[in-house]
Amino acid sequence: MNFYSLNKQAPKVSFKEAVIKGIAPDRGLYFPEKITPLGTHFFENIESLSKFDIAFTAIRQFVTEDIDDEKLKEIIAEVLDFDFPIVPIQKNISTLELFHGPTLAFKDVGARFMARCLGHFSFEKTEEITVLVATSGDTGGAVANGFLGVEGVKVVILYPSGKVSDIQEKQLTTLGKNITALEVDGTFDDCQTMVKTAFLDEEITKNKQLTSANSINVARWLPQLFYFLFAYKATKSEGKDIVFSIPSGNFGNICAGMIAQQLGMPVKHFIASTNVNDVVPRFMQTDFYDPKPSIATISNAMDVGDPSNFIRIRHMYNNDIKELAQNLSSYSFTDEETKEAMLELYNDYNYVADPHGAVGYLGLKKYQEQNPDTYGIFLETAHPVKFLDTVEDTIKENIDIPEKILKQMNKKKKSIKISTYDEMKAFLLA
């Protein structure tokens, strides 16, 4: 299996090379050369398969030339050592909880998978790999935890100062060892621009082997398709058309769900639910892509003004908005609407949602106004405790804080403050 740049100005590479490079030399994102459907037999009999069997079968075609079956099964067993429960909310609506991993966020799957792939590849290299990543919230903690102590890998995380929650900040600034946090005076978009610029800076790349652990990296992005397949297995017996509503910031998660659809998973539709950073909802209405500076919201992991992975989604549908619209709807919601949804979920259904999950719920409800006979699943991407003040202020109740979070909150924050690209560059070259 080869991967090619969506800018089509760079050579094709193997999975291993795509993971290590992170982004192509022409600044394009890597995409698999082909996607072979798993076949009707797989989906007809999915109830009899374990989550490990499902994940192994789904990802194997993309990695098999660089990771043998025995090692792949070992990686999957380590990555998927927690649950992905479906929680019924009301008739025809459930939520898929993705926060039962070590950092209480959906990104644990992709970050752990990528860390183990790079750890496997690093045994074949003498040169240290530097993972350079920007985070708008949960990516940093998941990457820091996933790569902690991985030999031959150094991790540098950029995050926007004052624009992540206290718990998110502690998860990426308290681990030490091979993890360094750079606290940027700016927005997530500023952080992401610095990271992308570094990959094209020859003064850096000739001295450092850089890769990215954002969802632009194929090893971070692709394994997120696992839990869509798990959700299909759990809800197949409902006998209705299944739709997924995904809280969307950089659009890697929903893009992975669409890969599961390309593999043959029966799904009627995807809903990209966003906050007021609405570049994709506007695109779906106008067929004009107009990125803007991101706006800070209570669902901060979605505060993205130019979502990197949307180009992968457009590519899957041949840049044809009519074809795309048959598979994707996108809606945006304000903070006030988000809080109202959180309160509704708590008061009416006794369910505590984080702001991102609440946005997913809103998108699903809007879609089902015109499509009432569908079975909808909205993704709850982070534990509500990660947004403690917002959640408690909204529902007017205290929520329990997991023990592992309490321990982390008592640790001392360690970060390096920077304001410019040159400061980041100087750190990398030091």
Give me the phi and psi of 327, to 5 degrees please.
-115, -15
Residue that wins the pLDDT comparison between 400 and 59? 59
Span 310-322, average pLDDT: 96
Cα dihedral across residues 154, 30, 3, 326: positive or negative? positive
Q: Which class for 186: exposed (0-12), middle (13-18), buried (19 or more C-beta within 10 A)?
A: middle
Beta-bridge partners for 153: 129
Q: What percent of the chain lies above the pLDDT cut of 70?
A: 99
Mean pLDDT, the chain, rounded, equals: 94
For the record, the structure tokens of 169 come out as 């900040």
Rounded CA gap, 153 and 313, in Å?
30
Under 8 Å between Cβ of 248 and 215: no
Q: How much is the pLDDT for 403?
A: 85
Q: How much is the pLDDT for 78?
A: 96
Greatest alpha-carbon span in the chain:
59
Q: How much is the pLDDT for 211?
A: 87
Rounded CA gap, 327 and 428, in Å?
42
Q: How much is the pLDDT for 168?
A: 87
Best CA proximity match to 214, nearest among 191, 186, 246: 191
Under 8 Å between Cβ of 179 and 155: yes
Q: How much is the pLDDT for 426?
A: 96
Q: Could you say which DSSP state residue 241 is in?
A: -
Q: Could you say which DSSP state residue 283 is in?
A: H
Would you say residue 406 has pLDDT above 90?
no
Beta-bridge partners for 154: 130
Least confident of 36-50, 90-104, 165-179: 165-179
Would you say residue 273 has pLDDT above 70?
yes
Which residues does 308 contact at the CB level (< 8 Å), separation at least 6? Answer: 29, 192, 214, 215, 216, 250, 251, 252
Q: Could you say which DSSP state residue 10 is in?
A: S
Rounded CA gap, 47 and 112, in Å?
25
Span 192-203, average pLDDT: 90
Report residue 191's pLDDT band, with 50, 70 and 90 as the boundaries.
very high
Span 195-208, average pLDDT: 91
Q: What is the pLDDT of residues 112-168, one digit of tens each?
A: 999 999 888 876 666 788 999 998 777 788 888 989 988 888 999 999 999 888 888
Span 311-316, average pLDDT: 97
Give CA separation, 339 vs 240, 297, 391, in Å. Answer: 30, 11, 8
β-pair type (2-5, 269-274): unpaired
Least confident of 116-130, 135-149, 194-208, 382-396: 116-130
Decide: helix, strand or coil at residue 114: helix
Amino acid at 90: Q
Would you say residue 340 has pLDDT above 70?
yes
Rounded CA gap, 133 and 150, in Å?
16
Q: How much is the pLDDT for 124?
A: 63
Best CA proximity match to 194, nearest among 424, 426, 22, 428: 424
Q: How much is the pLDDT for 158?
A: 95
Give CA separation, 133 vs 21, 22, 184, 201, 217, in Å. Answer: 13, 10, 12, 15, 10
Q: How much is the pLDDT for 85?
A: 98
Rounded CA gap, 89 and 345, in Å?
8
Number of Cβ within a 10 Å radius of residue 418:
21
Best CA proximity match to 33, nearest among 62, 65, 70: 62
Q: Could you say which DSSP state residue 180 is in?
A: E
Cα dihedral across residues 96, 273, 259, 261: positive or negative? positive
Q: Is-above-0.85 flag for pTM?
A: yes
Which residues does 366 contact at the CB level (< 8 Å), separation at least 6? Answer: 271, 331
Options 3.40.50.410, 3.40.50.720, 3.40.50.1100, 3.20.20.150; CATH of 83-103+221-400: 3.40.50.1100
Q: Could you say which DSSP state residue 182 is in?
A: E
Report residue 79's pLDDT band, with 50, 70 and 90 as the boundaries.
very high
Torsion of CA 360, 53, 67, 180, to 10 degrees: 40
Residue that wins the pLDDT comparison between 242 and 142? 242
